[in-house]
């Protein structure tokens, strides 16, 4: 099976690329790194792309079985200035629109298009239990996800099975949010952010990869899927569980006003959250490797 992977050099993308090749998938990575070379003897090839431009990478689509898009300007890392917010939105819209337009021109289309979205789709709703049937929010990240997903839905009009994967906080030691949280917790100065009551919908990296493999192969799967573990927690519960796993105290909280001074509007991403359930994945029969946060953290930290 041949898979086209846009965004295959990042935290999740790099791990997905490895898991696909381990199962003998042929993987074509779409990358803006023009100098990236193909590796002899490895079932991975690189093709330069630069949305919204067309390119020779489109030729790869006509004999591909699946298309996966994980690309987009990172949400965190830079203050949300008007310019940065525009970049976040446009990078997502342009990448999906470019891929869908290329699908329309392909002489044979992949059977499935999986696009990474985020649980931010639901907005700031800390106490409410959310499923794929819940309404979206109305803040910046929610509106970004809605516009993003609307572009993905166009693939369905081309007869391609489209999947919108709403991803929670992905846990692994060497990437994502956990990598940034570990240093202060290991020093014994970690703790919750803000009130600690905000919902945290998390998922182990192995279950993100497992869910993607599952959805590629599950022919009846289409539409939105929450990629979160079945048991979300609060920020306070997360901090306490991480502290126990590291055998360190976890009571040094960071006040909300400090985060707002440091990060501006982006602080809302850390001070609010969602309690999201993977209802549709469970209904289709996906079995999570890590249902409980404590077991997930123990497995990660044991390495």
Query: pLDDT per residue over 247-271, tens digit each?
Result: 998 888 888 888 888 778 878 888 8
* Across 183-190, average pLDDT: 90
Distances from the Cα of 37 to the Cα of 24, 25, 40, 275, angstroms: 20, 19, 9, 42
Q: What does the pLDDT look like over 43-74, one tens digit per residue?
A: 788 999 999 988 999 999 999 999 999 998 88
Angle (CA) 287-236-85 rounded to 5° is 80
CA gap 170, 207 in Å, rounded: 9
Question: Residues 119, 201: contact at Cβ < 8 Å?
Answer: yes
pTM for the full predicted model: 0.93
Say if residue 303's pLDDT is above 80.
Answer: no
Say which CATH class 2-170+201-230+274-289 falls into: alpha beta
d(CA 75, CA 78): 8
Task: Write down the number of H helices and E strands in the chain.
Answer: 10, 13
Q: How confident is the model at residue 37 (pLDDT cuts 50, 70, 90)?
A: low
């Amino acid at each position: 099976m041949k898979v086209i992977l846009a965004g295959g050099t990042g935290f999740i993308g790099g791990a997905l690329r490895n898991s696909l090749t381990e199962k003998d998938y042929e993987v074509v990575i779409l990358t803006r790194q023009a100098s990236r070379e193909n590796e002899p003897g490895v079932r991975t090839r690189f093709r330069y792309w630069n949305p919204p431009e067309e390119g020779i990478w489109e030729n790869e689509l006509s004999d591909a079985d699946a298309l996966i898009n994980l690309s987009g300007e990172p949400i965190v890392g830079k203050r949300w200035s008007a310019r940065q917010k525009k970049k976040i939105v446009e990078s997502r819209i342009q990448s999906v629109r470019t891929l869908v337009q290329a699908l329309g021109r392909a002489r044979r289309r992949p059977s499935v298009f999986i696009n990474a979205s985020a649980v931010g789709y639901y907005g700031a709703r800390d106490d409410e239990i959310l499923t794929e049937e819940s309404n979206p929010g109305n803040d910046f990240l929610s509106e970004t996800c809605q516009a993003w997903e609307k572009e993905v839905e166009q693939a369905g009009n081309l007869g391609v099975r489209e999947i919108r994967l709403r991803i929670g906080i992905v846990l692994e030691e060497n990437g994502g949010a956990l990598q940034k949280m570990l240093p202060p917790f290991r020093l014994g100065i970690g703790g919750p952010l803000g009130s600690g009551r905000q919902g945290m919908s998390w998922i182990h990296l192995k279950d993100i990869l497992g869910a993607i493999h599952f959805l590629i192969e599950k022919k009846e799967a289409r539409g939105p899927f929450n990629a979160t573990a079945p048991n979300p927690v609060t920020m306070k519960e997360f901090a306490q569980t991480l502290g126990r796993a590291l055998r360190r105290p976890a009571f040094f909280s960071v006040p909300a006003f400090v985060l707002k001074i440091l990060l501006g509007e982006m602080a809302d991403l850390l001070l609010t959250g969602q309690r999201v359930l993977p209802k549709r994945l469970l209904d289709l029969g996906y079995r999570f490797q890590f249902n409980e946060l404590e077991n997930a953290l123990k497995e990660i930290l044991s390495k």
